[in-house]
Structure 1
Amino acid sequence: MSGHEREGAGTATQQFWGRAPEGEDVQRCTLSLPGGLRAELSSYGAVLVRLLAPDREGRLEDVVLGHDTLEPYTDRARSPYFGATVGRCANRIAHGRFSLRGRSYALAQNNGPNALHGGERGFDQRVWASRVFVGPDGPAAEFTRFSPDGEEGYPGTLAVQVTYTLTAQRALQIDYQALTDAPTPVNLTHHSYWNLTGDPRRTILDHELTVFADQITPVGASLIPTGAFQEVAGTPFDFRLPRRVGEQIGADDEQLRVAGGYDHNFVLRGGTELKPAATLHDPVSGRELRVLTTEPGLQVYSGNFLDGTVRGKGGAAYGHRSALCLEPQHFPDSPNQPHFPSVILDPGQRLTSRTVYAFGIR
């Protein structure tokens, strides 16, 4: 086991966790802050395995879904992007196809007719190089990898770095960087499933959600955006003021019927600066999660496809709506929708993006 510690700033350690299906060593990284916040991460998928946060009584509990061992993470059926770093292009791309600079590219259709979250073996199914350190902002785990030209059908070799830092503000900060040697779409996100009760046997329907967005990008039958922008006012998607997740999730609404609940991109207010995206609050435990991001969109997913067949930590069955995903990202199907913010990265450009998950009590 290797590790780093700086007095008053927390600790960062890593140790061997197991071997990936192709034989590569996988590390498990642990970041800790004085006062209890602790994150455990895996170099397989640059995944957040565990996040321990205190409730109003100071009790530390794990607030993300996942697994106790490495092996389930290597099987998408048993680990549907739990805690994953998603890429090369997050969310859905219509018919698994896009055109770029006069060339057409074909991707795996791994979600009905569409490409989803980078393909059959996206970034969540790859081993990343890892190192841990205690930096000026706190204990950190840095993950890097080279995605070769043609991987999952995407053009260009992409150098990617994802750094998780526990900051003194009791936040998990995620910084992304990427460089390419040929034009390519890049849309990176974090895919933790949050349940602030710390008990995945309970649903998130009583969590109170605020989303700092006035519009969504409505979707068609296969959850691809239609290209329109829909105002949230007067709809079940109006989370501009705090509202229970379950308050209108069963409403007679076409968008909710299509997705089986919430699985939609919200158009965030503000530009490319770090800005509030959402606040999630569990009234029982008192835990509050504030999401800030430089990204233009936030995918809100209410765990509609969880059905109890996936078992996680401690053998817990992850049931319907036992967690909520808050995924800051560019809009779905952006490579095919030129009026959406562009996801195209060119040689000579550096992609930089930051997302912060900040914890509090009220």
Structure 2
Amino acid sequence: MKEGKLSEDAVRPCMKAYSRKLYLNGKEFHEITLENRAGMKVTALDLGCIITGIHVPDRHGIYKNVVMGYENPDDYLDNPAYFGALIGRTAGRIKDGAFTLNGVKYSIELNYGTNSGQGGREGFDKKTYSFAVNTSESMAAVVFRRTSPHMEEGYPGNLYSAVSYSLSEENVFKISYKAVSDCDTLVNLTNHSYFNLSGDFSKSIESHNLMIASDFYAELDDSSAPTGRLIETKGTPFDFNSMKEIGRDIGFCDSQLLIGKGYDHPFVLREGSGIKARLWDRETGRLMEIHTDNKALVLYSQNYAQGQVIVGNIVLSERMSAALEVQRLPIGRDGTFLEDSVLKQGETFRSYTEYRFGIL
């Protein structure tokens, strides 16, 4: 009897989604891995939905992790810079830690100087989530779920949220957000991963080329909260409508750059379909393109470091990475941009961001 030959599809590795137990300071968590047939991998924790790894190839086919993470996983329990974390209920700063909704004033703890930031002192980045993994012929995914109770961190309403991470065969990593509340509340979810497409976090991010499809950015006050004024990007250091190095204008004598020691600003994304942002490392050829239905993107050029020891036993210094936080506009002075974050009772918040990886 002649031996049969397996088809090409039969011998190809399958899409994978699996988890393992991970103990952080003796407490049990889980690390979830998504892997496609090409070898791209995404790893995340059920603590804060923290993305600990996105491994993608360079032009020579060498895979490296392009998101910043800690050398000692125990450090994710504190994580003051929010490496890879889900941010909620609201991303960015809320001016003076207060907002008024339906005539009621709510106060949130001031954990960012005179403002509240990134969801409060114990925001979504500090919570543990239930999760479920699944695969299909073309996708590997994990869905994280949690209900935030009424008045957690000062926010009204019991808020059910589900966050999906999925990986395709085409090296597209997608984050999908869903939330429902039993009364009017605020929701503005984002992910706070720090990227360096070289895969070497001892190298400056300033040589990376960046494009952001934006005609306006939000002016910040001295506390880094929005003033409510939108400034045209054209002709300023904030013009990234054509690819340019992040460091080209970062040292320009501009009052807005001086506030944050660099870029830490919301950009209003141009409406319509198409690429909203593009990040490229010339040396390795790695390219990341962002597609989203969201309104804004906060560019943070990692202007500060707190002595973190990151993967590779590297002591982090300034501007070794960039966070591209896709979200709604943060809430500023006199409740400016508040309406962008309002979720009405019974309505469903939905949003997605795709990170498409390739070589250029």
- Band the TM-score falls in, shorter-chain normalisation: over 0.9
TM-score (norm 1): 0.93
Match of 2:303 in 1: 304
Q: How far apart, CA to CA, are the structure 1 residues paired with 2:332 and 2:170?
A: 33
1:313 positional shift: 1.3
Q: How far apart, CA to CA, are the structure 2 residues paired with 1:336 and 1:179?
A: 26
Task: Give aligned-pair identity as a percent.
Answer: 35
Cα distance, 1:39–1:228 mapped onto 2, change above 3 Å? same
| 1:5-25 Cα shifts (integer Å, max 9, x gaps) | x9655100001112578x5x3
Match of 2:108 in 1: 107
Q: Is the 8 A contact 1:217 1:266 kept in 2?
A: yes
| 1:29-62 Cα shifts (integer Å, max 9, x gaps) | 0110111210111000001001101000000011
Q: How far apart, CA to CA, are the structure 2 residues paired with 1:168 and 1:231?
A: 38
Query: Secondary structure in 1 aligned to 2:228?
Result: coil
Query: Secondary structure in 1 aligned to 2:219?
Result: coil
Match of 1:58 in 2: 61
Q: Is the 8 A contact 2:329 2:337 kept in 1?
A: no
Q: How far apart, CA to CA, are the structure 1 residues paired with 2:62 and 2:269?
A: 33
TM-score (norm 2): 0.93
Letter in 2 for 1:330: R
Match of 2:33 in 1: 30
Aligned length: 350
Query: Secondary structure in 1 aligned to 2:315?
Result: coil
Cα distance, 1:219–1:338 mapped onto 2, change above 3 Å? closer
| 1:158-212 Cα shifts (integer Å, max 9, x gaps) | 0010010011221110000001001110000011000001000001000000000
Task: Indicate the structure (1 or 2) with the bigger Cα radius of gyration.
Answer: 2
Q: How far apart, CA to CA, are the structure 2 residues paired with 1:36 and 1:99?
A: 48
Match of 2:278 in 1: 279
Q: How far apart, CA to CA, are the structure 1 residues paired with 2:88 and 2:148?
A: 10
| 1:303-339 Cα shifts (integer Å, max 9, x gaps) | 00125x1111131112110000001100011695455
Which stretch shows the higher mean deviation, 8-17 or 201-210? 8-17
Q: How far apart, CA to CA, are the structure 1 residues paired with 2:274 and 2:218?
A: 19
| 1:272-325 Cα shifts (integer Å, max 9, x gaps) | xx6422100000000001011111000000000125x11111311121100000
Of 11, 14, 28, the match for 2:19: 14
Query: Secondary structure in 2 aligned to 1:223?
Result: coil
Q: How far apart, CA to CA, are the structure 2 residues paired with 1:130 and 1:109?
A: 31
Q: How far apart, CA to CA, are the structure 2 residues paired with 1:336 and 1:137?
A: 47
1:332 maps to 2:333? no
1:196 maps to 2:210? no
Cα distance, 1:7–1:266 mapped onto 2, change above 3 Å? same
Match of 1:345 in 2: 343
Letter in 1 for 2:303: N
1:86 maps to 2:87? yes
Letter in 2 for 1:192: S
Q: Is the 8 A contact 1:334 1:341 kept in 2?
A: no
| 1:104-127 Cα shifts (integer Å, max 9, x gaps) | 111011011000000111001110
Q: Is the 8 A contact 1:20 1:26 kept in 2?
A: no
Q: How far apart, CA to CA, are the structure 1 residues paired with 2:336 and 2:220?
A: 16
Q: Is the 8 A contact 1:99 1:336 kept in 2?
A: no
- 1:201-212 to structure 2, matched below 5 A, reads 201-212=202-213
Match of 2:5 in 1: none
Q: How far apart, CA to CA, are the structure 1 residues paired with 2:330 and 2:340?
A: 11
Q: How far apart, CA to CA, are the structure 1 residues paired with 2:65 and 2:205?
A: 14
Q: How far apart, CA to CA, are the structure 2 residues paired with 1:319 and 1:95?
A: 30
Match of 1:359 in 2: 357
Consecutive aligned runs of 4 or more in structure 1 exceeding 4 Å deviation: 6-9, 338-341
Match of 2:316 in 1: 318
Q: Is the 8 A contact 2:183 2:346 kept in 1?
A: no
Letter in 1 for 2:355: Y
CA RMSD of aligned residues (A): 1.8
Q: How far apart, CA to CA, are the structure 2 residues paired with 1:233 and 1:219?
A: 18
| 1:48-90 Cα shifts (integer Å, max 9, x gaps) | 001101000000011010124431011134xx11001100000
Q: Is the 8 A contact 1:210 1:240 kept in 2?
A: yes
Q: Is the 8 A contact 1:211 1:277 kept in 2?
A: yes
Match of 2:3 in 1: none
Q: How far apart, CA to CA, are the structure 2 residues paired with 1:20 and 1:156?
A: 32
Which runs of 5 or more residues in structure 2 are unaligned?
1-10
Which stretch shows the higher mean deviation, 59-68 or 172-181? 59-68
Q: Is the 8 A contact 1:334 1:342 kept in 2?
A: no
Q: Is the 8 A contact 1:181 1:347 kept in 2?
A: yes
Match of 1:74 in 2: 77
